[in-house]
């Protein structure tokens, strides 16, 4: 691909680059390669018209789970998340996908997906517990601050330089006049 930017009749900038559009690539040829990344990228590629979406998604997922070259299980999980993001199943295909996962040849895929789901639930629960603890701590701090504020409002200032021992020192008769007028 070549891009030219003309300025005053001259082309001082000419860019040459290759562009690959995933949507234009044939997914079946790519999924034939023993590379886990192929399963994730195939989610954006052109699938055969006669391949049901549920079978296509299962083929992509199998490629991610069964191929080497993935350094960690977390990386494999991230590739599966790409597949989920770019290849969502409509309602009827979800049922078919679930049915396919119950077949004996897909038990390992189903088990791995359940393990990932359980891990995500545990992470979510841990985050929820941490948020709950944080919210409880915030409420406790606010409760202490509000209690302190109410006590000091009843007794006057609790600051030692303003009267010490929690009571404000007033000039004789000053506070009483304001209180009687409702301004103090």
Q: Do the domain assignments include residue 175?
A: no
Of the residues 101, 122, 142, the one at which a domain ends: 101
Q: Do 131 and 147 fall into the same domain? A: yes
Range(s) of the domain holding residue 135: 109-155
Same domain, 4 and 91: yes
169: in domain: no
Residues 89, 32: one domain? yes
pLDDT of residue 166: 47
Query: Looking at the domain assignment, is residue 180 inside a domain?
Result: no
Asked whether the beta carbons of 57 and 90 are under 8 A apart, the reply is no
Q: Are residues 11 and 53 in the same domain?
A: yes
Which pLDDT score is estimated for 156? 64
Residue 6 pLDDT: 74
CA 183, CA 52: separation in Å to the nearest integer? Answer: 79
Residue 14 and residue 12: Cα distance in Å, rounded? 7
Say if residue 71 is in the same domain as residue 130. no
Q: How many domains does the chain have?
A: 2
Same domain, 91 and 23: yes
Enumerate residues 6+ apart whose C-beta is below 8 A from 70: 36, 64, 76, 79
Asked whether residue 132 is assigned to any structural domain, the reply reads: yes
Q: Quote the tokens at residue 94.
A: 């979800």
77 in the same domain as 42: yes
The per-residue pLDDT string of the chain (184 residues; one tens digit each, 9 = 90 and over) reads 667 677 777 777 777 778 888 888 999 988 898 888 888 999 999 999 899 999 999 999 999 888 877 778 888 888 888 888 899 998 889 889 889 988 988 888 887 776 666 666 777 777 888 888 888 888 888 888 888 888 877 776 555 555 445 444 555 555 555 555 555 4
Does residue 126 sit in the same domain as residue 91? no
The helix-helix angle for 91-101 and 53-66 (nearest 10°) equals 50
In this structure, are 56 and 88 located in the same domain?
A: yes
């Amino acid at each position: 691909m070549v891009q030219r930017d003309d300025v005053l009749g001259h082309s001082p900038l000419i860019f040459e680059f290759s562009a690959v559009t995933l949507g234009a690539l044939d997914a079946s040829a790519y999924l034939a390669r023993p590379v886990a990344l192929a399963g994730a990228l195939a989610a954006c590629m052109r699938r055969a018209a006669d391949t049901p979406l549920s079978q296509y998604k299962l083929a992509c997922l199998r490629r991610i789970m069964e191929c080497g070259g993935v350094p960690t299980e977390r990386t494999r999980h991230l590739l599966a998340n790409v597949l989920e993001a770019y290849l969502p199943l409509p309602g009827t295909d979800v049922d078919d996908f679930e049915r396919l996962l119950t077949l004996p040849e897909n038990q390992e895929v189903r088990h791995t997906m359940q393990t990932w789901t359980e891990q995500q639930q545990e992470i979510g629960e841990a985050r929820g517990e941490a948020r709950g603890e944080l919210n409880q701590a915030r409420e406790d701090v606010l409760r202490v601050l509000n209690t302190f504020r109410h006590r000091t409002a009843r007794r006057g200032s609790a600051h030692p330089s303003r009267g010490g021992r929690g009571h404000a020192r007033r000039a004789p008769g000053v506070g009483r006049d304001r209180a009687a007028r409702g301004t103090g």
